[in-house]
Chains A and B, each alone.
Chain A
Amino acid sequence: MAVDYSRYLAENVLNEHRTVTHRSLSRALKVHTNLAKQMLYEFHRHENAKKPQSVNATYVIVGTPKLPEKSETNGFHVKEDGDAIMQSSPYLSSSMPQQDAAQEQVSTTSITLVREEDLEDAKSTFQFIASIHIYSLQPAVLPDLNVLTDVSRELALTFPNDDPLECGSQWGMILNKNVKRRTGVRPAAPPAAQLPKTSSSTTTAPVKPPFQKEAAPETTIPASKTTSQPSKATEKTAPVKREKSNLFTSFAKAKPREKKEVSATPAISNTESAEPSGGEDVVLDDASEEEAEQLFPDTDKRASPTDRETRKEREEKLRQMMEDDDDEEMPDAAETPREPTPPIEQPPKEPELKEQASVQGGRRRGRRQVMKKKTMKDEEGYLVTVEEPVWESFSESEAPPPKKKPAVSAPKGKPPAKAGQGSIMSFFSKK
């Protein structure tokens, strides 16, 4: 072992001119990182004794930095040597008199990465040094410390099969004993509070008009095309989710199909306001799938009459809640319909999964959106992994309303984007 490390380091640092950090050394030799740090230190000392400046080191200093002597501010300046100068911004408070500064200051621990050349200077900026250790060895001075990040990246590639849970103790990782890997399929994400705006699904058509008017002024989404239904029927949540995924239509080829379905439903429902319908029709024209109509023509009719009433009640409740809160996000509730919030307003986050569950006849049924990852290429050839919500039924009773809802919401998502009102869409439209 003792011989191995110096051979390994000689090969990598001196012959191949690579940078070796204590982490990469510990992974390569399967030793504890603290031992790796000692190895680095020994090698550094040994080689430089043989030939000065043959090996250069970077150090990490952990400790309490000295307080600035002439402090015009109430805060700390934590200065790092080297290129990455990260200074905490001075905390200026006009209300705080200067004499309180000393009492106001909190103790700070600073972890600083420095080059060998700057080590002494850096040490002098510390009031108390808890530890110093070598971070990396390289054959020459690093002009840019950021390249050390590349070593970590390579580490992941070189040792892809090392499970941190198994090898962690060997390397010196701090592990929680109670942690264990999950088995099985990734569970569905919890129901999301955020309701993307979706055009009303056809099934809730009759219920929608009255709510639509109320919803319209409340929703902030500029895209008027996508009506946001404040009260979301169970079927709505599916389209709601679909609409959210419309944000990512530029990345997903599969999306248009769902949008198609969505547009199919509006045709059936006449509750949509004119604009959304128009929007959907547009989308319908654009997308050229016929599957939408074929797939879910029946579910529409089936769902509407049965769920209408419960949806109505829920929408009322939702409306009440909405009017109380200012923001449009509804609290998560498995069975509460959610208000669609304009996806454009929100910065593109992960689409929150919707769960529509209607309690009818005492049976809980509904559709749940599960995030499935799909990797595809967008226009620029980048491989993009998109998390797409996919509806799956979790009800014990009848089959849930199928993707018709997603289809409804999908085209609704697109029109607002096309309206150009949401600034976020302009971000994507460049692609």
Chain B
Amino acid sequence: MTTFSAPVTEPKPLPSNQSALAASFTDFLTVSIHQILFLRSVYPRATFLPVRAYNYPVRQSRHPKVCDYINDAAIAVGTEILKGTITAVSIIISSLRTNQPLERYAFDLSGFPRVPVGEINATFEERKDDPSSSSKLGVNVSERGSAPPQTIDLEAQFRACLARLASACARLTPLPRDDEFSFTVCIEVREDALPPAGTTKEEQTWIVAEPGKVHLRSCTAPYSVSKAKSADDPQQQHQHLPPPPPKVSNGRAKTVPVRRVEAGELRLELWVEEARQKFNEPVD
């Protein structure tokens, strides 16, 4: 951090390799999770500190355990991105009283480039030139023959995303006041990908989600398996729950699109889904 009087920072260049891409997305994910928790008042608003991210005022939780959990989740997501297994990340807000998911904030990452593990530090330009990789990626590479110059400001895109998130949340039905909520970080993996179950304690960061908990099927991968991030914090643990509620055929009652970000190789979509349970509609 410079301490000059007026540090002028030009837009940082777009991430040029997969690891940079994963890093910028995990940063953005961390900021977004904090912001979502604030906007929906999952934790008391007084526990959030006004800070600045991407030159935009956001809120960050002050509770150390919350921060740690979110950081760990983001790192775990980043690991999965590098493995190339993720199609979507979602934040699911559920009621503690009824154990029903109420809202789902989905980041669709199916547009992320899929890069073999050995090439995560190879810039996308290099990979494009490499004939072996282009054959793997097929059509996509040729389309990006002339990559647009890096005039797209990633920071501005993230800023816009956060601003739209705030206004989208304002349009949602407020969460029931007399209830407490918790949140879960969920990822959806591709059908052909190995589920991120590890053998060692360190690797076991993800647990399999119960289908009833994640009520909504992802638009992009109808057959995906949903996993819920395990947490040390007992408040956020979903492993020992009563038997799942009756299946819902389509839990989505209302979808509010937030924003699509396209900045070079970083393509993601963000939307909000509200569950029927939120509106106390009868479940099928």
Contact = CB atoms under 8 A, between A and B. Distances in A.
Interface in A57-106: 83-84
B111 interface: no
A140 B171 CA distance: 7
Interface stretch (B4-12, B185-193, B228-236, B262-270): B4-12
Interface stretch (A32-40, A143-151, A199-207, A409-417): A143-151
Contacts of B169: 143
A144 B50 contact: yes
A335 interface: no
B247 interface: no
A17 B9 contact: no
Contacts of B116: none
Interface stretch (A231-239, A253-261, A354-362, A383-391): A383-391
A141 B163 CA distance: 13
Question: In which size bucket is the chain B interface?
Answer: 20 to 34
A386 B3 CA distance: 10
A211 interface: no
B167 interface: yes
B203 to A, nearest CB: 30
B6 A385 contact: yes
Given A144-B57, A144-B59, A384 B38 contact: no
A386 B2 CA distance: 10
Contacts of B173: none
Interface residues of A, number: 27
Interface string A116-156: 00000000000000000000000111111011011001000
A171 interface: no
Contact of A147 (B13, B57, B171): B57
A385 B13 CA distance: 17
A139 B2 CA distance: 37
Contact of B12 (A140, A153, A382): A382
Contacts of A146: 50, 57
Contacts of A387: 4
A150 B163 contact: yes
A17 B85 CA distance: 35
A291 interface: no
Query: In terms of DSSP, what is the predominant structure of the interface of chain A?
Result: loop
Interface string B140-167: 0000000000000000000100011011
Given A144-B50, A146-B50, A381-B13, A251 B59 contact: no
B56 interface: yes
B8 A143 contact: no
A386 B164 CA distance: 35
Nearest to B12: A381
B38 A153 contact: no
A144 B59 CA distance: 8
A348 interface: yes
Given A143-B45, A144-B38, A150-B163, A383 B57 contact: no
Interface in A280-312: none
B55 interface: yes
Contact of B167 (A140, A375, A383): A140
A147 B163 contact: yes
A317 B39 CA distance: 65
A147 B163 CA distance: 8
A350 B5 contact: yes
Nearest to A251: B2
A110 to B, nearest CB: 20
27 contacts: A17-B167, A84-B50, A139-B170, A140-B171, A141-B170, A143-B38, A143-B166, A143-B169, A144-B58, A144-B166, A146-B57, A147-B56, A147-B166, A149-B57, A150-B57, A150-B163, A153-B55, A347-B3, A381-B13, A382-B7, A382-B9, A383-B8, A383-B9, A384-B9, A385-B4, A385-B8, A387-B4
Given A139-B170, A350-B4, 6 more contacts: A150-B159, A383-B9, A383-B10, A384-B4, A385-B6, A385-B7
Interface of A: 17, 83-84, 139-144, 146-147, 149-150, 153, 251, 347-348, 350, 375, 378, 381-387
